[in-house]
Amino acid sequence: MADRLMMIAVQAALHAGEILRRGFGTQCEISYKPGFYNLVTQYDHAAETAIIGLIQEQFPDHSFLAEESGASKSSNSSVQWIIDPLDGTTNFAHNIPLFCVSIGCMVDKEIQVGVIYTPMTHELFVAAKGQGAFLNGIKLKVSNVSEFDKAFGTTGFPYDFGETSSPYMQRLIKIAKQGKPLRDIGSAAINLAYLAAGRFDFFWIDSLQPWDMAAGKLLVEEAGGKVTHYDGSPLQLIPEGSLLATNGLLHDEMLGYLA
């Protein structure tokens, strides 16, 4: 079952990625969802429709939780697909080629398959529960950096900065004061994939939606890393909440800065 779920997830991600690749750099029809600078384009919708359509052809009884269309009607199936058709929409709309398709498949409320595809760099990150994480067929392992003064990290700035800036800024300042090189590349899913590949050593964000983290969480864990909330408790996809992902070696120290 897991192999078939993975095969369909990969096919859907590649298909949606091609839609995004063809749309990149063209005229975007931008609209705004509720919240602060929360963009959506016609390509978000087109990619999501393609993903759900392809999966439904193979698994008509499965349910979905997708960024643009929300949760599908409940079914008797224990399988739910968690989909972000375009993570990094702001980058995409501004012709910055850092965006991805993220697809997670949850069976009995546990993520079993995760796929993240970056169509402009043709990097396909895949993970299956208990079977490891891979980038274009090469097995992934998180970094082995154990000293915080040598670590390279990434974060995600909150969109509602004016309302939530104080707690976030306190955490950011504490970490920045350690002299850390930090990045915010505009896609939580890519941050998690890059961490799984050893490109980053830690990633934190105050609030994240299920579709932004479902696939990435599995990638990090299958590559040997650790993912929790800021209080160290196991990460729950629903409801949205804080996320800390590290190579495992830096986790306790990062919790000290974030708690």
10-residue stretch averages of pLDDT, the chain, 259 residues long: 92 98 88 67 95 96 90 81 96 96 96 98 98 98 96 87 71 88 95 98 95 97 98 91 96 94
Residue corresponding to tokens 């196991």:
234
The reported pTM is 0.94
Distance CA 57, CA 8 (A): 10
- Please work out, in degrees rounded to the nearest 5, the angle formed at the alpha carbon of residue 87 by the alpha carbons of 86 and 88: 105
Domain boundaries, the chain: 2-139, 148-258
Is 211 in contact with 67 (CB distance < 8 Å)?
yes
User: What Å distances lie between residue 92 and 119, 210, 254, CA to CA?
Assistant: 11, 21, 31
Task: Tell me whether domains 2-139 and 148-258 share a fold.
Answer: no
CA-to-CA distance for 187 and 223, rounded, in angstroms? 19
Residue 102 CA to residue 85 CA, distance in Å, equals: 6
Query: pLDDT at position 168, please?
Result: 87
Angstrom CA distances, 47 to 68, 149, 175, 242, stand at 10, 41, 37, 27
How many Å separate Cα 196 from the centre of its chain?
Answer: 11
For 2-139, CATH gives: 3.30.540.10
d(CA 189, CA 101): 8
Q: How many CA atoms lie within 13 A of 103 on its CB side?
A: 31
Q: Are 186 and 91 in contact (CB under 8 A)?
A: yes
Q: How far apart are CA 223 and CA 143, in angstroms?
A: 9
Q: Does domain 148-258 have CATH number 3.20.10.10?
A: no
CA separation for the pair 93, 40 (Å, rounded)? 9
List, in order, residues 6 or more apart from 21 with CB less than 8 Å away: 119, 120
Cis, bond preceding 167 (omega within 30 deg of 0): no
Q: What is the pLDDT of residue 74?
A: 64
| CA–CA separation, 18 and 74 (whole Å) | 30
